[in-house]
Amino acid sequence: MDYLRLLPHEYPLRLVDKVELYRKGEILVSKFDTNRLNWLPNQTPIPESILMEGMAQSAVIFTQLETRPLQKDEFPVLGAINATILSRVEPGQLITYKIKPLRLLQDQAVIEGSILVHQQTVLRGTLTVGIS
């Protein structure tokens, strides 16, 4: 299945390159190569807002797989995010997003997410996504 078709985002605003693992009701693992962020100034750490947006995009994919795909007149909305930043992400690093459900409803979800680089957690948090 082409999981990325579940995202309305396109590059350069798409922050998920591929879904590596999906287990219904359990987990979604996706990847993003920060080399795609070539519009950022050189040697600038990846902004935390970019990291959280990528985590939210992964949550949108997971939520649709668990509930239903977005309809043509719908779009995903990030309701809230509560994150702890543990480390910086440097340009050129490969990001792994891990998404797990805390609560799923028909058109909204509370998700636990983490972002890893070289198997080390650099950001973790919870987020709420919905459909509008």
Torsion-angle region of residue 102: left (phi > 0), alpha (psi -120 to 50) or beta?
alpha
Cα–Cα nearest to 94, from 71, 70, 120: 120
Calpha distance 93→6 (Å, rounded): 25
Structure tokens at 128: 């709420």
Backbone angles phi and psi of 131, in degrees to 5: -115, 135
68-110 pLDDT, tens digit each: 888 888 888 888 999 999 999 999 999 999 999 999 988 889 9
Whole-prediction pTM value? 0.93
Q: Do the beta carbons of residue 9 and residue 50 sit within 8 Å? A: no
24-43 pLDDT, tens digit each: 999 999 999 999 998 887 77
Domain segments of the chain as ranges: 3-131
Q: Does domain 3-131 have CATH number 3.10.129.10?
A: yes
